[in-house]
Amino acid sequence: MGLRYLLGRLLGMIPVFFAVVTAIFFLIRFAPGGPFDSERNVPPQILENLNKKYHLDEPLLMQYVHYLNDLAHGDLGPSFKHANRTVNEIIGEAFPVSLELGLISLVWALLIGITAGGLAALKPNTAFDYIPMSISILGICLPTFVIGPFLVLVFGMWLEIAPVSGWDSIGDRILPSLTLGFAFAAYISRLTRGGLMEIRSLDFVRTARAKGLPESLILVKHTLRGGLLPVVSYLGPALAGIIAGALVTETIFSIPGLGRFFIESALNRDYTVVMGTSLLYFTLIFVCNFLVDVTYTILDPRVRHE
């Protein structure tokens, strides 16, 4: 039954994870340049010491074995660029910020998206349908670096009702999460509308009407579950994408999230930070998709019995 399938997915994850570790490890090292190339005028002696300190003087295979060993102990190693800081520390500090931003954005996206899509499906081809669906096209097309400054301009500068940068008070959460969540809300609203409209045309909804059930009960009991399945399957990629894609938003609003480290480390060849952040994102994507599978199994009895 479904349980065995889910367990299989979990176990199948182990070799995939191993392959990902290996691939990133070697790819980043084969990229031209090294972590200390950009420091100007480093005396050869110091460079040598640095390389020694970070085991960069050893053969690549040995470094790989070292890394695997540390990883198995939950140690992602020291950062090459941020002296005296470990990757665990960096992630431990920055990731919760990104996670919080992502989760708040997702809540916005779900609230706005499902409400708008549900209304549109209840009153198709009316203003309740046309207006939110037109806005959602904007949401999907406009990039965050347009939406963000636009919201800052309207709510921060003109109306002055929301702070425009920082990550301290509750108010600081409003504009960044709206910026980040907007595109996802747009997408979810379209998925919701499509899903509900499709379900509503199915035979079993006609049966529910023929039984004399009121429309509201039909919506809640008979159409929501099946109609929201597309949204559920979208949630996994969405959550992962929302967190990983927070970079632009984090930059616009000066938020100390993980996105900055991710990009910076790749440019600086800060090998361990690249590895750490990539593995984190990979795990995140996997976990999100796994949770979606679990939810799907709960929602659709036909999957459960396969």
Partner 1 sequence: MGEVLHVRDYRAYFHTRRGIVKAVDGLNFNLSAGETLGIVGESGSGKSVFLLSLLGLLPKPPLRIESGSAQFGGMDLVTASEDTMRSIRGNKIAMIFQEPMTSLNPYLKIGTQLIEPLMIHRNKTKDEAFKIVKGSLLKVGIGDPDRALNAYPHEFSGGMRQRVMIAMALTTHPEILIADEPTTALDVTVQAQILELLKSIQKETGMAVILVTHDLGVVAGVADRCLVMYAGKLFEQGSVDDIFYRSQHPYTHALLKSTPRLDKALAALPSIAGTAPDLSKLGPGCPFDARCEYVKEECRNSFPTAKRTEEHESFCHLEKLP
Name the token pair of 237: 């990629």
Residue closer to partner 1 by CB (options 65, 217) is 217
Nearest approach, Cβ of residue 117 and partner 1 (Å): 19
Nearest-angstrom CA–CA distance, 20 and 28: 12
Q: CB neighbours of 43 closer than 8 A, spacing ≥ 6?
A: none
- The residue count of the chain comes to 306
Amino acid sitting at position 265: S
Nearest approach, Cβ of residue 109 and partner 1 (Å): 24
Residue closer to partner 1 by CB (options 66, 225) is 225
User: Which position among 97, 202, 266, 287 is part of the footprint of partner 1 (CB under 8 A)?
Assistant: 202
Nearest-angstrom CA–CA distance, 270 and 159: 42
DSSP 7-44: HHHHHHHHHHHHHHHHHHHHHHHHSSS-TTTTSTT--H
Contact status, residue 168 vs residue 89, Cβ threshold 8 Å: no
Number of residues that bind partner 1 (CB under 8 A): 21
User: Which position among 15, 73, 203, 216 is part of the footprint of partner 1 (CB under 8 A)?
Assistant: 203
x-or-dash string of contact with partner 1, 97-136, rule CB under 8 A: ----------------------------------------
Among candidates 159, 154, 151, which has minimal Cα distance to 180? 151
Nearest approach, Cβ of residue 227 and partner 1 (Å): 10
Residue closer to partner 1 by CB (options 114, 199) is 199
Query: What separation in angstroms does the CA of 218 have from each of 73, 139, 202, 221, 226?
Result: 53, 30, 12, 5, 12
- Residues 151-190, interacting with partner 1 (CB under 8 A): none
x-or-dash string of contact with partner 1, 210-239, rule CB under 8 A: xxxxx------xx--xx-------------
Residue closer to partner 1 by CB (options 69, 207) is 207
Nearest approach, Cβ of residue 269 and partner 1 (Å): 51
Nearest-angstrom CA–CA distance, 99 and 107: 12
Nearest-angstrom CA–CA distance, 20 and 14: 10
Residue closer to partner 1 by CB (options 44, 301) is 301
Nearest approach, Cβ of residue 191 and partner 1 (Å): 17
Residue 207 in the binding site for partner 1 (CB under 8 A): yes
- Provide the phi-psi class of 33: left if phi over 0, else alpha when psi is between -120 and 50, else beta: left
H/E run at residue 148: helix 144-151
Q: CB neighbours of 235 closer than 8 A, spacing ≥ 6?
A: 106, 288, 291, 292, 295
- Residues 275-304, interacting with partner 1 (CB under 8 A): 299-302
Residue closer to partner 1 by CB (options 154, 220) is 220
Q: With contacts defined by CB under 8 A, name the span among 132-140, 175-183, 196-204, 248-256 that binds partner 1.
A: 196-204
Residue closer to partner 1 by CB (options 6, 220) is 220
Residue closer to partner 1 by CB (options 124, 256) is 124
Residue found by looking up tokens 């997702």 in the block = 106
The residue ranges that bind partner 1 (CB under 8 A) are 202-204, 206-214, 221-222, 225-226, 299-302, 305
